A and B are shown apart, each in its own frame.
Chain A
């Protein structure tokens, strides 16, 4: 069965970077785009960007351009999202999500989420 398993909780200081992993199983990572969505405490969902795991091509939301890097390791079926220059506003749950039909935005499987807390 399809599963996306993310790395654990992170606590970072302002200015630091965080790298979250998302290991896919039950399907071939390269067959579907992977997206990253975050959710601040008590707030709504915010799309960060996506990666084509087959080619490695990425597309980032303008808000995160220059601060986010999405990569993948096909040998371990793992996608990564790295966010730099962290501030308290980046405190949030970060989710990876598989897009079943490219361009449809139907994120059919999600990781369990990784809580990132940014605090001095």
Chain B
């Protein structure tokens, strides 16, 4: 059971907009920023969004992040087949003094 809760799966068709949610608590998202990672099978995760809404250079602006209260969301617009991957949210946990991740969401492009 992950400290941050994500839906196990999400799907969309090419060109659609999909969102992936990440639910935490006052000890995590409620008092800290959220980062998002994209991971393809057999490879290392890639930083997609940091500090809730910031995109590292090279990440397309089709990817956007938001945060409200103890929850955060990753939105992908103009969905493409190459976006099919696993997505993880992450935040600092004030009580555990640790970085914690969501369980991951497998995105399928239909």
Q: Known: A106-B56, A112-B44. Is A46-B51 also a contact (CB below 8 A)?
A: no
**Across-interface contacts of A100 in B (CB, < 8 A):** 50
**A105 close to chain B: CB less than 8 A:** yes
B97 to chain A: which residues have CB within 8 Å?
Answer: 59, 62
Q: A44-B2, A44-B103, A45-B88 are in contact. Are A107 and B45 (CB under 8 A)?
A: yes
Interface of B is mostly: strand
Contact call A95/B98, Cβ cutoff below 8 A: no
The reply to whether B44 and A111 contact each other, CB–CB distance below 8 Å, is yes
- Answer yes or no: A80 CB below 8 A from chain B CBs: no
Contact of A62 among B44, B98, B103 (CB under 8 A): B98
Question: Which residues in B have their C-beta under 8 angstroms from that of A107?
Answer: 35, 37, 45, 47
B73 within 8 A of A: no
Q: Is the CB of B90 within 8 A of A46?
A: no
B39 vs chain A, min Cβ distance (A): 8
- Nearest CB of chain B from residue A100's CB, rounded to whole Å: 8
Inside 8 A of A110's CB, which chain B residues have their CB? 44-46
A96: nearest residue on chain B (CB-CB)?
A: B44
B99 near A35 with CB under 8 A, answer yes
Question: In angstroms, how far is the closest chain B Cβ from the Cβ of A10?
Answer: 17
Among B44, B47, B51, B101, max chain A CB count under 10 A is at B44
Q: Does A108 contact B (CB under 8 A)?
A: yes
In the docked arrangement, what's the CA distance between A92 and B70, Å? 30
Q: Mark A82-107, 1 if CB is under 8 A from B, else 0.
A: 00000000000001010011011111
The 4 A-B residue pairs whose C-beta atoms are closest, nearest first, are A106-B50, A110-B44, A47-B99, A45-B101
Where the two chains meet, the residues of B that have a C-beta atom closer than 8 Å to any C-beta of A are 2, 33, 35, 37, 43-47, 50-51, 54, 56, 88, 90-92, 96-104
